Structure 1
């Protein structure tokens, strides 16, 4: 019934009732301790007084003389009444050697034998303790009366019993301390006030929500976190993980007990640490709180992460970062890049052929037929020399076709694409050719972006070398180069060369590094003597079969 009633109360009401219950229990405990202490004090102090009074009465000559003469009772009743009146005891009883009561201030005791606290009392021993008499508890002291006559010294003449009733509970509470009830009342008032203030404070901290509402929110949060396809990681201002769902734990390779641990304890370092904490990734326009995507490579995965600061009432509560696995999307982008390169090649060739046809048409119109022949021969020789140069040094059709396409694009941008004399590449396995073409295409695109729109005479140089188990791709350019600050992190950040200079985000170099690492290699960047940049990639390949050759 009590629990059912509590469930229907508000959170503040439940706290108030529970606190009041605790306070009442404390008050009852304090009262019980006070009663126990009062009883112990009464037993100790009054026990000594009753024992001393009983010994004093037993030594009274009047008591001894009356007990020596059985028929004599002169003055015993008066002595007993005086003792009760002067000492404030409950009763005084005097019995003979057979424990028959001679005098007692309690009329009920005169009609029966004296009750003994111990069997040794009847043989002349003293006894003190508590005794139940007529269903009432008494503090009793029984002392023997001994003869002093010469021929009867030490003879047991009778027993004196003095009894004092125990005070009631109320009397003991009142006797424990004259201010005990006042203290208990003050404590009760302070407890009630404190409970009410605590209930109000908790009510404010829970934003006025009741327990069932808080439970519902927690259930909805868990369902939401574990029901979405994106990873979610929340950090407090001390960079401790306060929330992480299963997707984020899997993508970041975090342990099951990650909640409550700091990023340093989890050994999160590098670019991932910067994105999660916001250190070193401030927006150049100063709009750090605006949502934007950052690319991070983590354990062979391409992750796109978006971090938001959480602020409430001007207080920084932490950050929430969402992350998406874009590894599959990156692979799709790589395939789309091949189609895009083909489209750009066709467009560049169309533009080039159109210019050549316009030139031929103009020469025909003005009657310069010999110039037409010389122009066609020059175009044919230049195209043949490029085809011969590429095909003589690169035997793999996919890579050769890619470089032919890039040459047309470079020509359209007024950039010279050079094939290094050191270039030599045999025919590769199809899966190896795809990865090598992707690396070459990304590095050449970045180099073209770096030199396009610059001064005349810009160039991009490509060198490809291989042995039985690896391929090395080196792409250099005459552009502005890569600054040391960007060079240290360009692949971790996932920038392209264009992104490094213009501030746009991309994943070209990130994909290049990912492909190289998957094949047991690496990609690096360095500055050339001319001031440009040179990217060098190493990839492991499968041995080329004779049938493929």
Structure 2
């Protein structure tokens, strides 16, 4: 519901009208000042010239100091008034008493002067009050011409013109001033109205209160959701990022307006954020966090405005997946063993039915010998129960998929701290699963020949454990040797498939413990080598989950 206060268009129109009025007032004031200056200059020169001409008149020079000069000077004063169109004409004697004037009521009164003695030595022009009216006057001294009083001050001539009113000055400024002001006012009002309509369209018809409310709601929504939001313009500059996005990407507080390269964003994270196509559920490992990112391009009227990327922290989910994987491994182990035992029982049952009792005994002894050899190898070379149990389970799973799981003769692993054992088991399990997949793919591609196998080698020294897993798979393409860990590929990805984040989590565990994981190709297939520190890592660091 919209408020009933002033609309945005109305406020803009009122503001523009105020500006137009101020501009018109300023133009009028300037025109008024120019008119006043022009009047003072032109009329001042004219009345000064008239006053000088009258002061040099022989009649004035001869009669001004005579008794009763008013009657003689009256016709001359009246003719000057009529011919020049001035407002007043006055002649004063040497004592400053008016002896001739166009206004007979001023006869015998003192002549108004700008300053005492101003008209005795020089002429003067300016504004004075004459008969109660403000006039622009010129006062010129009358000097004697006869030899006996040559150059002597005999009196003063004053001629004045009435000062125009403000309206007369404004009208006199320009004959077209009112027309110009009217046209300017009309154009200003029209322009203000068009500007108000344009801004109204650009704001989608929303009023200022609605725009402010929308901005407040957007800020509250962006900073209140549990997902990170990052917006980029076409030049890869950050235009928006919420608190969660800044935390997940470790961005500084002043990151808005900076480009991705300036923020140090590179690698897989840069590829996802700066990609030209939309991305869905892309997995990125960034500074110990497993991030799931979705990017959408923003296009309006066929023009690309940038992109918006959402980020979800999947780190805790990865921990749950790892724990779930432990239960899944146990379930798969039981299922594989049940399947294996069922097959063995079927064989024994069939031998009994055909009365091959001696063959039953030999078959059972062979099965026991195989089991004892595997258990003996694990018991003598892998003394940690958790890792040994894991390898036992993986052996059963590998056998079910017709893959031979071997334990290298150089394997030696002592009992580990439970936390260390959990991480070693995680890395070993991920690498073995990955190797089994690769070996099965290679066997399928060659029709089952040669035999598929996976070899595990565990080596331990005073402060670290090295895990080497070899397989008979197709190997890893050199260009994917680093991407398999950053993108979450397995060796099966070398054939074109994407397989989750197992290897990425493996790299996380190794790096968290000050180690690393790498892959190389051998004559038989791929070889993954993982190294991690054990025993000397601070307990509080180990307790931090993925």
Is the TM value for this pair above 0.5? yes
Note the C-alpha offset of 1:134. Answer: 5.7
- 1:193 and 2:190 are equivalent in the alignment: yes
Alpha-carbon RMSD across the aligned residues, in angstroms, is 2.2
In the other structure, the counterpart of 1:462 is 456
Is the CA contact 2:69–2:99 (under 8 Å) kept in the aligned structure 1?
A: no
Q: For the structure 1 residues 336 and 8, does the alpha-carbon distance in structure 2 shift closer, same or farther, using more than 3 Å as the test?
A: same
Structure 2 SS opposite 1:154: coil
Give me the whole-angstrom Cα distance separating, in 1, the residues matched to 2:40 and 2:236: 64
**Local SS of the residue matching 1:343:** helix
The aligned counterpart of 1:137 is: 134
- 1:376 Cα deviation (Å)? 1.2
- Name the counterpart of 1:537: 530
Q: CA deviation at 1:453?
A: 4.3
Whether the 8 Å contact between 2:119 and 2:140 is mirrored in structure 1 is: no
1:41-120 to structure 2, matched below 5 A, reads: 41-107=38-104, 109-110=106-107, 112-120=109-117
Tell me the number of residue pairs that the alignment of Structure 1 and Structure 2 aligns.
529
Residue 478 of structure 1 contacts residue 533 of structure 1 at CA under 8 Å; is this kept in 2?
Answer: yes
User: 376-385 or 473-482: which moved more?
Assistant: 473-482
Contact 1:97-1:122 within 8 A present in 2 as well: no
Q: Secondary structure at the match of 1:480?
A: coil
Tell me, in whole angstroms, the C-alpha distance in 2 between the residues paired with 1:154 and 1:396: 137
1:302 corresponds to 2:290: yes
Structure 1 counterpart of 2:338:
350
Change (3 A) 1:111 1:528: farther
Q: Deviations over 1:457-515 (max 9, x none)?
A: 12222222222222222222222222233333222223334455454451212211111
Matched, 1:528 2:522: yes
Alignment match, 2:437: 449
Q: Is the 8 A contact 1:121 1:144 kept in 2?
A: no
Q: 1:62 to 1:238 in 2, by over 3 A?
A: same
CA, structure 1 residues 484+120, in 2 after alignment: closer, same or farther (shift >3 Å)? farther
CA contact 1:226–1:246 (8 Å) conserved in 2: yes
Deviations 1:396-434 (A, max 9, x none): 221121111111111111112222233222222111111
- Alpha-carbon deviations, 1:302-345, whole Å to 9, x = none? 11111122233333232221111111111121111111111111
TM-fit CA distance, 1:75: 4.8
Shift of 1:392: 2.1
Partner of residue 21 from structure 2, selected from 14, 19, 24:
24
Can you list the C-alpha shifts for 1:217-238, whole angstroms capped at 9, x where unaligned? 1121112112211111122222
Tell me whether 425-434 or 134-143 shows the greater mean CA deviation. 134-143
2:274 counterpart (277, 283, 294)? 277
TM-score when scaled to structure 2?
0.91
In the alignment, is residue 154 of structure 1 matched against residue 163 of structure 2?
Answer: no
Q: Counterparts of 1:107 and 1:425 in 2: how far apart (Å)?
A: 137
**SS, match of residue 253 in structure 2:** coil
1:519 partnered with 2:507: no
Q: CA deviation at 1:358?
A: 1.1
Separation (CA, whole Å) in 1 of partners of 2:517 and 2:144: 121
Structure 1 gaps, min length 5: 1-5, 283-287, 545-549
Displacement of 1:294 in angstroms is: 1.0
Q: Could you say what secondary structure the match of 1:472 adopts?
A: strand
Distance 2:492 2:498 in 1: 7
Which residue of 300, 305, 321 corresponds with 1:333?
Answer: 321
Separation of aligned partners in 2, 1:256 and 1:163: 77
Is residue 146 of structure 2 the alignment partner of residue 176 of structure 1?
no
Judge conservation of contact 1:468–1:543 (CA < 8 Å) in 2: no
Match in the other structure for 2:420: 432
Counterpart contact for 1:140–1:161, Cα < 8 Å:
yes
SS of residue matched to 1:8: coil
Are 1:480 and 2:480 an aligned pair? no
Say which SS state the counterpart of residue 316 (structure 1) adopts.
strand
Q: Is the CA contact (8 Å cut-off) linking 1:307 and 1:322 kept in structure 2? A: yes
Residues 59-98 of structure 1 deviation map (CA, whole Å, 9 limit, x = unaligned): 2222211213142235523333333333332222211112
- The equivalent of 2:199 in structure 1 is 202
2:234 aligned residue (212, 233, 237) = 237
**2:248 counterpart (248, 251, 255):** 251
Task: State how far apart, in whole Å, the 1-side matches of 2:411 and 2:67 are.
Answer: 144
Give the match's secondary structure for 2:219.
Answer: helix
- SS of the aligned residue for 2:240 comes to strand
The answer to which of 535-544 and 33-42 deviates more is 535-544
Which of 6, 11, 17 lines up with 2:8 in the alignment?
Answer: 11
Q: Which residue of 1 aligns with 2:540?
A: none
Partner of 1:405: 393
1:74-129: CA deviation from partner (whole Å, max 9, x where unpaired): 55233333333333322222111121112222455436311111123264333222
After superposition, what is the alpha-carbon deviation per residue over 1:38-68, rounded to whole angstroms, capped at 9, x for unaligned? 2122222322232232222222222211213
Aligned counterpart, 2:544: none
1:311 aligned partner: 299
Q: Does 2:419 align with 1:422?
A: no
CA apart distance, 1:132:
4.0
1:151-200 deviations in Å (ceiling 9; x for gaps): 32332211111222222223222222222222222222222222222112
Q: How far is the alpha carbon of 1:543 from its aligned partner?
A: 4.3
Q: Name the CA distance, whole Å, in 1 between partners of 2:69 and 2:150.
A: 20
Question: Is contact 2:65-2:93 (8 Å) kept?
Answer: no
- The more displaced of 385-394 and 200-209 is 385-394
CA distance in 2, matches of 1:234, 1:412: 49
- 2:364 matched residue in structure 1: 376
Please give the secondary structure, in 2, of the residue aligned with 1:379.
helix
Deviates more, 1:136-145 or 1:19-28: 136-145
What corresponds to 2:352 in structure 1?
364
User: For the structure 1 residues 59 and 488, does the alpha-carbon distance in structure 2 shift closer, same or farther, using more than 3 Å as the test?
Assistant: farther
